[in-house]
Structure 1
Amino acid sequence: MTKSETVRLTTAQALVKFLNKQYIDIDGQVTPFVEGVFGIFGHGNVLGLGEALYNDAGHLKVYQGHNEQGMANTAIAFAREKLRRKIFAVTASAGPGSANFVTAAGNAYVNNIPILILPADTFASRQPDPVLQQIEVESSAATTTNDALKPVSKYWDRIQRPEQLMTALLKGFEVLTNPETTGPVTICLPQDTEAEAYDYPKSFFEKRIHVVKRQQPSEYELKSAVKLIKQSQKPVLLVGGGAKFSDAGHALKEFSEKFKIPLVETATGKSTVTYDFVNNLGGAGVLGTSAANKVLAESDLLIGAGSRYTDFTTSSKTGIDPSRTKVININLSRMQALKFEALPIIADVRDTLQALIKEPELDNYQSKFDNLEKYKSEWNQERERLAHTNYDDPDFQPEIAGHYSKEKLANYANTLGTHLTQTSAVIAINEHIDPNSIMVSAAGTLPGDVHRIWNPKAKNTYHMEYGYSMMGYEVAASLGIKLAKPDVESFALVGDGSFLMLHSELVTALQYHKKINVIVFDNSGFHSINNLQITHGDESFLTEFTTSDNKVLNIDYAKVAAGYGAKSYHVHTIEELLAALDDAKKQSSSTLIDVKVLPKTMTHDYGNAWWRVGDPEVSVNKKVNQSFADTQKHLDHAFKY
């Protein structure tokens, strides 16, 4: 190869040049695939990748992060909001900086979200070893901190020679752009290799278009599905995350309308179809609505559209009876499609549903459900009740079983200075903000509340991370959403426990003038887990935010945000909440609303939903023994797959 056919670049410079030339083609629309890079520079990446980005970033947008896990969460949320059609890369220093990527990579892996992770690494030559922040493993000199990323990466590689970059990037981008395999791709960059030069072929940097083809169902798969549908009386369509990423909303509605089949939703699938659609009965499973769980209990056929069937969706395998309910799984992943001994359809959700709609044998088919309107009306009435739960009502009772005594609840009310219930606050926000605003949540009690009572009014406005249930995702994700959709308001609904875990990217949002709105629900504790303790017979232990002399903490989160430079608000009533939302809408900078709410005022289980947890088989506590006995009764009715 002649010099005119090559270009001499460092490994890092070649990496940046390659990222600029990657495009994706989905349904004939060709767009750049890599939006930019989030980085925290330090030992290992500042002189290599930092130099390359500073001198010629091309079209890539480069942002400074403030926590490696946080900025990776921002990148994950961005890719989710773009329906996996555009990504960010993230980079950090060798050692602890890159180790902070592991948790976020697990999030991306579980949720099948593409993110390119570029951790700095120790020297490929090993001559300066052990360098700053290097671990030494007796069993292998090749092992570094970045090996911890292997189990949570869909593709992992380490570049020890500059020319290895070419094969690594090509393999990595095949994974990133493939809907079946997509997830975190990790390419480790030893700092000496990162700075070494090589004569790269110019052809490597030509515009490369990754064409994503929609996998079509086979004739056998369609005919088999038609047969099962025709045999069924009460089929139910389960809308999973794969349906959202397939952009299958219109097909879902048309399928449901034609065959009178109710829709129920997983946490990721929610808002693929808006709640005002007549046959949408809302969230399913442990965190589901009464309406959704009633039709699931009656169903004789479950049609899974892009779901991986977590324990919350299936009520720990007690919500689907294989002796009565057959299953069809439409999924690009064969592993997911084969679950529950289903008829697997390894294909795109949207196109499969459209093909079934056109099947002549189903022209006259409709389900035998005659109570969908009744079930939905009953649930709407329950939601209305939850919207007006009132601590000052003489007959008020907390929603959660095993609730606190009146004296203990009064202590929280007095300390936090609030009588506001969590359900009333969530519904008030849902009804008051602009319908096109995007809500994000992730962990604690809020995912259960919003899965049940948050009614999306516009398509794809509900962003829930509940595959990994990752505390600390919400604030960073809100920034990712804003980067993906700058013209809409982004709201992070986050518990106080999750906010304390990680909120560093609020500073990033302020730094780059990307307005986000953070709503902290402060009930002074990890009350989701406190609920789990109490309802399974335990006493409260290390889940409440109390001092060593047992006083409830009252943290001023509004003051924390104000210290960063955000506009902040203190809220103790619905009136104050609505006023804060109105004022926040007028702001051009990020806001934080500190909402004090009472513990035990979140939503509770509906239907026969059950979640299997590890109840101790032996305990000195009689309540724990009773909980174990109750678990055994449920297990007698759980289905083994």
Structure 2
Amino acid sequence: MTSTPATSVPESSEAATSTVRLTVGQAIVRFLGAQHTVRDGVEHRLVEGFFGIFGHGNVAGLGQALLQSDLNDPGRMPYWLARNEQGAVHAATGFARHRGRLSTLAVTTSIGPGATNMITGAALATINRIPVLLFPADVFATRNPDPVLQQLERSDAQDVTVNDAFRPVSVFFDRVWRPEQLPAALLGAMRALTDPAQTGAVTIALPQDVQPEAHDWPVEFFDKRVWRVMRQGADAASVDDAAALLASAKRPFIVAGGGVHYSEAEGVLAGLATRWGIPVGQSQAGKGALPSGHPFDVGGVGATGTTAANALAAAADVVIGVGTRYSDFTTASRSIFANPDVRFINLNVAQLDAVKFAGLAVTGDARTTLAALGDALPNYATDAAYRAEIDALRDEWAGHRAEVFASDWQARGETGRTSQVELIGILNETLGEHDVIVNAAGSAPGDLHKLWEPGSAKQYHVEYGFSTMGYEIAGALGIKLAEPGVQVVALVGDGSYLMLAQELVTAIAEGLKLVIVLIDNEGFASIGNLSESVGSQRFGTRYRYNDAGSPSAGGMLPVDLAANLESLGAKVLRASSPEEFRSALKAALAAETTTAVYVQTDPLAPGSVGGAWWDVPVAEVSELESTQAARRDYERDRRAQRPYL
């Protein structure tokens, strides 16, 4: 087990048989207000508030309950009006990730499209293993008025609703048909939210006639409960086996994943990397696991990794994965670990990840398990030649990074616009140590993974498990709620902005200052590059008029995204050069209200090299020479893939 049953702390001296009459909605709000987590002796509120949009499915249930709570006990269970249900879940996810998964937010929606709008957000949370609590409204449990507005009808089953679509993207799902079922549902939900190995989206569907229904609840149901998030220790024999394997390594390599952050293992990892002399490459979720400038930090690893990390990974004889799920970007589609004799040691709280690549599974909390492995291997150290190679590769990459940022693409490119990487360099040098950069989709995550040097463990916030277009602004809102005192900068492309920008209005309404950096390259730059690489000639990736049936051949659209930002209430600063961007960014950071910096970039500007591959299949037969050439390259490159069995 990775989480323990909660300790109930009675708040009342009433007899155990005493009851209180509340609606289901009121009972949920009161129950959630009494739930806490504890780890290392530090206690946190588990659910700190609700996002929501009310409709006929929840306005009389959870809506009324939240109003009553606000009037009777202001601040006990805050409510924020979201503008998009998917955005609300993204905000809750950003909040929970920034809080280290020890606290989260709930989201309530009406029946039908309001509910199903949350499914993308639920998938993102579960894939990234971030706890969020979802309460979609549902049909009438009594079925008296069926079919109700927005109800799905099926000829084969009458107990299936659209909310069943949440099942595959939730780590826990229940539907409360009767008030008596609520305690079991909520206790099960709390268990899932606090399980570090298997957390994610937790969904409790609430029929709209059940939410306002009254019931006599045992008073102890609302006592304070503290859910202990345990630091599971690894099996001693597994630690000894891992120590023996690592002791034999000549060229070890560490892959740091998100589990390093969630277990707060950064300090232990940094100490062991120094003591052992092992380079550390990071996944997207693990970026910042070592402080910038650490002598064994070699940056991102994999398809969007640095040349230093990828060269060391390719020659590694033992790979130690710490809190990583080994996604295809991290492993360069199983091609990056090229040593024919490579072995894996996987330190992970989730058994699912610990056994990947036939690795030696060491199942446990990352911080606890790393410390145990350090104790079991006190005298190990790599040799001087390997350390010199690490230094040389780090220096080579640092030189390349400096050249990338110093390049003047604005002068060399055909459009006279700057490049995205130049802007990322300015962002990295301008943001403070604890300011947070938020990104999720497009070409920016790849450039950020390679080029960003985090000033602190929480500065780098890139969602790349689901890589969801539109996460950036909503996720930034959640981070700002989690830590109001930090500067939060959402770096968003025009494609992502057009997908989901509505929570900008929520941030403005709540007086939560964000900085938005909107990069406009008039299309899908990342997919454009990918399309070209697979021989599809950037077809359908540019925002243009449809000319003679070709969406890539027409003229540019008269879209003014800066004006759109202003219409939503943000102050907008336009920049047309790196110098103007630097000045505008500093002004936005100094501003007291939400401010956006709008800049147009060249979608054809080059990025930075990394030396790794990503598996995207290419059409096997084609009449197009561009596709035929791409297929030949694909056949060549995929020969490097290995099963790691």
- Letter aligned with residue 598 of structure 2: D
Q: Does 1:246 align with 2:263?
A: yes
- State the 1:452 CA deviation: 0.7
Assess, with a 3 A threshold, how the Cα gap between structure 1 residues 141 and 356 changes in structure 2: closer, same or farther: same
Preserved CA contact (<8 Å) 1:272 1:460: no
Name the counterpart of 2:568. Answer: 564
1:521 to 519, 525, 528: 519
Q: Does 1:212 align with 2:229?
A: yes
- State the 1:92 CA deviation: 0.6
- Letter aligned with residue 34 of structure 1: V
Preserved CA contact (<8 Å) 2:404 2:608: no
2:630 and 2:546 map into 1 onto residues whose CA distance is 29
Deviation string 1:489-525 (CA, Å, 9 cap, x unpaired) is 0001111101110010000000000001110111101
Q: Does 1:46 align with 2:44?
A: no
1:143 to 154, 157, 160: 160
1:490 and 1:81 map into 2 onto residues whose CA distance is 11
1:380 and 1:634 map into 2 onto residues whose CA distance is 27
2:476 and 2:228 map into 1 onto residues whose CA distance is 29
1:617 and 1:242 map into 2 onto residues whose CA distance is 39
Between 538-547 and 243-252, report the one with greater CA deviation. 538-547
Deviation string 1:533-568 (CA, Å, 9 cap, x unpaired) is 111222221100111241123632221111122111
2:538 and 2:598 map into 1 onto residues whose CA distance is 25
- Letter aligned with residue 542 of structure 2: E
1:54 and 1:630 map into 2 onto residues whose CA distance is 61
1:197 and 1:140 map into 2 onto residues whose CA distance is 28
Name the counterpart of 1:632. Answer: 635
Between 471-480 and 530-539, report the one with greater CA deviation. 530-539
Assess, with a 3 A threshold, how the Cα gap between structure 1 residues 372 and 92 changes in structure 2: closer, same or farther: same
- State the 1:215 CA deviation: 0.6
2:464 to 463, 466, 472: 466
Preserved CA contact (<8 Å) 1:230 1:362: no
Preserved CA contact (<8 Å) 1:258 1:366: no
Q: Does 1:202 align with 2:206?
A: no
* Within-5 A mapping of 1:551-590: 551-553=555-557, 555-590=559-594
Q: Does 1:370 align with 2:388?
A: yes
Q: Does 1:606 align with 2:606?
A: no
- State the 1:187 CA deviation: 0.3
Counterpart secondary structure, 1:120 = strand
Between 348-357 and 154-163, report the one with greater CA deviation. 348-357
Between 532-541 and 122-131, report the one with greater CA deviation. 532-541
- Letter aligned with residue 628 of structure 1: R
Name the counterpart of 2:625. Answer: 622
* Within-5 A mapping of 1:125-144: 125-144=142-161
Deviation string 1:596-638 (CA, Å, 9 cap, x unpaired) is 111122524422x111112111111122122223222233221
Give the root-mean-square deviation of aligned CA atoms: 1.5
Name the counterpart of 2:282. Answer: 265
2:97 and 2:639 map into 1 onto residues whose CA distance is 38
* Within-5 A mapping of 1:68-87: 68-87=85-104
- Letter aligned with residue 171 of structure 2: K
Counterpart secondary structure, 2:546 = coil
Between 261-270 and 572-581, report the one with greater CA deviation. 572-581
Preserved CA contact (<8 Å) 1:439 1:462: yes
- State the 1:385 CA deviation: 1.1
Name the counterpart of 2:169. Answer: 152
Assess, with a 3 A threshold, how the Cα gap between structure 1 residues 428 and 2 changes in structure 2: closer, same or farther: closer
* Within-5 A mapping of 1:239-638: 239-321=256-338, 323-359=340-376, 361-367=377-383, 368-391=386-409, 393=411, 396=412, 410=414, 413=415, 418-549=416-547, 550-553=554-557, 555-607=559-611, 609-638=612-641
- Letter aligned with residue 194 of structure 1: Q
1:585 and 1:422 map into 2 onto residues whose CA distance is 19
- State the 1:595 CA deviation: 1.2
Counterpart secondary structure, 2:617 = coil
- Letter aligned with residue 108 of structure 2: T
1:356 and 1:344 map into 2 onto residues whose CA distance is 13
Counterpart secondary structure, 2:211 = helix
Preserved CA contact (<8 Å) 2:320 2:347: yes
Preserved CA contact (<8 Å) 1:276 1:457: no
Identity %, equivalent residues? 39
* Within-5 A mapping of 1:36-185: 36-57=49-70, 58=73, 59-185=76-202
Preserved CA contact (<8 Å) 2:304 2:329: yes
Name the counterpart of 2:33. Answer: 20
- Letter aligned with residue 503 of structure 2: E
2:605 and 2:488 map into 1 onto residues whose CA distance is 25
Name the counterpart of 1:403. Answer: none
Preserved CA contact (<8 Å) 1:569 1:592: yes
Q: Give unpaired runs (5+ residues) of structure 2.
A: 1-13, 548-553
Between 118-127 and 598-607, report the one with greater CA deviation. 598-607
Preserved CA contact (<8 Å) 2:347 2:366: yes
Preserved CA contact (<8 Å) 2:69 2:77: no
Between 53-62 and 373-382, report the one with greater CA deviation. 53-62
- When the two structures are superposed, what TM-score results if normalisation uses the length of structure 2? 0.94
Preserved CA contact (<8 Å) 1:66 1:504: yes
- State the 1:213 CA deviation: 1.2
- Letter aligned with residue 625 of structure 2: K
Preserved CA contact (<8 Å) 2:477 2:512: yes
2:334 and 2:125 map into 1 onto residues whose CA distance is 25
Deviation string 1:59-95 (CA, Å, 9 cap, x unpaired) is 1111000000001100000000001010000011100
Q: Give unpaired runs (5+ residues) of structure 1.
A: 397-408
Counterpart secondary structure, 1:370 = helix
- State the 1:4 CA deviation: 6.4
1:254 and 1:113 map into 2 onto residues whose CA distance is 27
2:544 and 2:188 map into 1 onto residues whose CA distance is 51
Deviation string 1:170-195 (CA, Å, 9 cap, x unpaired) is 11110101101111100001011111
Extract structure 1 runs of 4+ deviating beyond 3 A: 1-4
- Letter aligned with residue 160 of structure 1: W
Name the counterpart of 1:406. Answer: none
- Letter aligned with residue 176 of structure 2: I
- State the 1:2 CA deviation: 8.0
Assess, with a 3 A threshold, how the Cα gap between structure 1 residues 126 and 617 changes in structure 2: closer, same or farther: same
- State the 1:392 CA deviation: 5.3
Preserved CA contact (<8 Å) 1:226 1:362: no
- State the 1:586 CA deviation: 2.4
Deviation string 1:72-131 (CA, Å, 9 cap, x unpaired) is 100000000001010000011100000000000000010000000000111001110111
Assess, with a 3 A threshold, how the Cα gap between structure 1 residues 75 and 467 changes in structure 2: closer, same or farther: same
Assess, with a 3 A threshold, how the Cα gap between structure 1 residues 430 and 553 changes in structure 2: closer, same or farther: farther
- State the 1:419 CA deviation: 2.2
Between 200-209 and 379-388, report the one with greater CA deviation. 379-388
